[in-house]
């Protein structure tokens, strides 16, 4: 185990049970959230490529306007 992981466990274990439970719930929630983001990002390349292709096709059909920058 890394020193940070060990230090975290030691500090959490020193807390009252109710606080330990809250920390455990929060950590698990963060891990699940991170997993969802990783899955979304893994699929984003395919999605971005599809959107880019659609944009090129619209441009080729003359359905786009030039971007006017000030």
> How do residues 22-55 score in pLDDT, each as one tens digit?
999 999 999 999 999 998 888 888 888 999 999 9
Instruction: Give the separation between CA 9 and CA 15, rounded to whole angstroms.
Output: 10
- Other CB atoms within 10 Å distance of the CB of residue 20: 13
Express the helix, strand and coil content of the chain in percent, nearest 5 each: 80, 0, 20
First to last CA, the chain: 55
Q: What is the mean pLDDT of residues 18-23?
A: 96
Residue 43 confidence (pLDDT): 83
């Amino acid at each position: 185990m890394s020193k940070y992981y060990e230090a975290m466990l030691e500090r959490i274990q020193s807390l009252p049970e109710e606080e330990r439970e809250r920390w455990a719930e929060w950590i698990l929630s963060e891990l699940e959230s991170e997993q969802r983001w990783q899955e979304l990002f893994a699929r984003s390349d395919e999605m971005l490529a599809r959107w880019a292709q659609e944009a090129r096709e619209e441009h080729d059909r003359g359905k786009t306007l030039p971007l006017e920058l000030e």
